[in-house]
Chains A and B, each alone.
Chain A
Amino acid sequence: MKFNKFVKGGLAAVMAMGMMACSNSGGSATTTTTEPTGGDAALKLGFSGPLTGDASVYGLAVQHAVEIAVEEVNAGEGVKFEVNAQDDMADPEKAVSAYNALMDWGMQVSLLTVTSGAGQAVAPQYQKDNMFGITPSASSTAVIYADAENSANPYGSVFQMCFTDPNQGTASAAYLKKHAELGTKVAVIYRSDDNYSSGIYNTFMAEAEKEGLEVVSTAAFVNADTDYSVQVKQAADAGAEIVFLPIYYQPASQILVEANKQGYKPVFFGCDGMDGILSLDNFDKSLAEGLYMLTPFSADATDEKTQNFVKKYQEKFGEVPNQFAADAYDCVYAVKQAADAAGVTADMSTADITAAMVAQFTSMTFDGITGTSMKWSKTGEVSKDPKAVVIQNGAYVGVED
């Protein structure tokens, strides 16, 4: 009998733990508003992101960057913003509630959401309510297309500041073609059961064929694979000088270890999913030495705008901003540029604001810290030059073109 009780107690503990693991930290959505100081009525700018929970590192980065950008904008000439940030915990359902809360508040322009899953859930509402939004970091094509599978039926009023996942493949192939000094024979190792990775892989291969980039070996793996020795050996046997890894940093670290074990030293090349490899616990940073990755932002860039942003961010929040923060910072300035150019004011109707913003975004050119001469297509995709970053002495260093 005693044991039965114990088992029941144990089961309850299992369930309690399971629940904790699922819901992270419960609690209601939090709201933070930043009031502009004096002057005309401000444009109401809203967004939602994971301000608590697992992905909060992304949401907080966006929130911090928006805070800095809006402070700067409100201190200057032109349009002013009033900000409302909602917590969606990167959860699609909570994102819809957050959107409704923002609409009740009277949102006029939006930064949509921080994460893709949440963005996907709210994007149809933007079309329905004829609301303008530009997401800093929700990179899935499903955020801007109703039919993401075929990249058809764009929502029209939803824009992205970040590259869509497939565009990273195109940009990577173009970069490698242009920089033949890194090597000409390319091997690809990707994860076939992951949308992010296979999306990039497909567009990379298409662009490689178009550009005449020589791909000597392709190999795939699936989630929870432990052994990468075959994939690495195939790349080595094919004589690849560059190994393209359109995957997240965790399996990438395993591939670096395996290559080192086999004594194979190609140039590794990754996309934004590689961001974070240096912060892996107990990772031998020397293995990542010389690794290239395409990312829209590097914090050590020497231009004045980036340095100003990085300095302010560090002073205020005590850390180096990541690309989510940089994308968010650019979003605020892009919205400001469009609103100023179209003469948008807070007393206009939402429909007029949306029409003016969409017209501006599909025609203007924007220079930010995540790229220069950015343009947007009618479908909401951004086109900008990706920047390459290389790991030197255990730190990310921007590569000059």
Chain B
Amino acid sequence: MAFLSYLISGLGLGSVYAIIALGYSMVYGIAKMLNFAHGDVIMVGAYVSFFAMTLAGLPFVVSALAAVVICTMLGMTIERLAYKPLRQASSLAVLITAIGVSYFLQNAAQLLWGSDTKIYPTILAGAVSLFGGQLSISYLTIVTILTCILIMVVLILFINKTKTGKAMRACSEDKGAATLMGINVNQIISITFAIGSGLAAIAAVLLCATYPSVYPTLGSMPGIRAFTAAVFGGIGSIPGAFLGGLLLGVIETMAKAYISTQLSDAIVFAVLIVVLLIKPTGLLGRKISEKV
């Protein structure tokens, strides 16, 4: 029973990683860049929903929507101001810029809101009790896992069934050819950033509802883990990010529970290295760039 309970909390944690990893993966698939500021967009989302609830007194769902709207705008603004002018520049320059944006957001948050930790309000307390109370699953974990599955299904439908989705796939395969076919590549990249940042806001809300502390460097560690998850599953692939996120969460929790609480990170990254040695493109990554 303890095993099941660890498995479920691992899936809950993994779902949050998966949602963040989706943002990394989509942006990489289409813009071919690693957006290291993604984790800090999560942090901004967390602060926005925190203040929406505590200062403005808005209900949880409204505050989550506010976070999504503001993060979407923030993501598009970052793309427009920091990354678009560097579209023709070397990928290294873009990478460094992304790190710069990440530091900018962290320090701005510190200046604006201070470096002290704020405690996120309790959302959805309570749990389902199974097997005569031996196993309890909190509602929050259930909501997190369901949200993650819903997001993945909607994204896959969006990419495969809509015209914009088709354009995205085209961009990820060959930007030059996509431009020749009359696709506005800049607009597609903008939309990708908007979706990725919106997802970051949802991840922020779920992350903080489960682990309720809000501080300026909140996004960096989940960001790095989610990036690992994206690489693990095959960066650029949506089901890959989903699978990678879930596996990472479960491996991390199991390593903590059954091997060592101290070495869990080392174990997670050792698994990553082994996977990459055997399958260099990640679990679901393909050699032919049929990514998105």
Residues of A within 8 A of B (CB): 3-4, 6-7, 10-11, 13-14, 17-18, 20-21, 54, 192, 219-222, 224-231, 233-234, 237, 250, 253-254, 257, 261-263, 280-284
Contact = CB atoms under 8 A, between A and B. Distances in A.
B82 A18 contact: no
Contacts of B175: none
Contacts of B110: 21
Contacts of A231: 256, 261
B195 to A, nearest CB: 23
Contacts of A229: 9, 253
Given A221-B261, A262-B136, A281-B117, 12 more contacts: A6-B85, A7-B82, A13-B104, A224-B221, A226-B222, A227-B9, A227-B252, A234-B261, A257-B122, A261-B125, A280-B119, A283-B119
Judged by DSSP, the binding face of A is: helix
Interface stretch (B63-71, B206-214, B279-287): B206-214
What 3 pairs across the A-B complex have the smallest Cβ distances?
A3-B85, A224-B221, A230-B256
Contacts of A6: 81, 85
B211 A222 contact: no
Contacts of B100: 11, 14
A224 B121 contact: no
B104 A192 contact: no
Nearest to A16: B107
B213 A227 contact: no
Nearest to A189: B261
B20 to A, nearest CB: 12
A3 B107 contact: no
Interface of B: 2, 5-6, 9, 13, 50, 54, 81-82, 84-86, 97, 100, 103-104, 107-108, 110-111, 115-122, 125, 127, 136, 138, 207, 210-213, 217, 220-222, 252-253, 256-257, 261-262, 265
A250 B117 contact: yes
A4 B85 contact: yes
Contacts of A11: 100
B262 A222 contact: yes
B107 A14 contact: yes
Contacts of A230: 6, 9, 253, 256-257, 261
A167 to B, nearest CB: 24
B284 to A, nearest CB: 25
Nearest to B13: A227
Contacts of A282: 50, 54, 118-121
A17 B210 CA distance: 31
Contact of A14 (B103, B115, B210, B257): B103
Contact of B111 (A17, A221, A226, A228): A17
A220 B118 contact: no
B116 A281 contact: yes
Nearest to A227: B13
A224 B54 contact: no
A224 B256 contact: no
B213 A3 contact: no
Contacts of B122: 257, 284
A14 B85 contact: no
Contacts of B253: 227, 229-230
Nearest to B126: A261
Contacts of A233: 2, 5-6, 257
A237 B103 contact: no
A263 B103 contact: no
A220 B262 contact: yes
Contacts of A18: 103, 107
Contacts of A237: 2
B96 to A, nearest CB: 10
Nearest to A192: B262
A254 B220 contact: no
A313 B86 CA distance: 58
Best-surrounded residue of A13, A18, A21, A250 (most CB of chain B within 10 A): A21
B82 A10 contact: yes
Contact of A253 (B107, B115, B213): B213
B221 A257 contact: no
B117 A7 contact: no
Best-surrounded residue of A13, A237, A282, A283 (most CB of chain B within 10 A): A282
A65 B157 CA distance: 67
A257 B86 CA distance: 44
Nearest to A9: B81
A17 B106 CA distance: 10
Contacts of B97: 7
Contacts of B211: 226-228, 254
Contact of B85 (A7, A21, A219, A253): A7
A254 B261 contact: no
B261 A220 contact: yes
A21 B221 contact: no
13 contacts: A13-B104, A20-B107, A21-B107, A21-B111, A54-B115, A224-B221, A227-B253, A230-B9, A233-B6, A254-B211, A257-B212, A280-B116, A283-B119
B119 A281 contact: yes
A20 to B, nearest CB: 7
Given A10-B104, A230-B6, A282-B118, A254 B256 contact: no
Nearest to A283: B119
Contacts of B125: 261
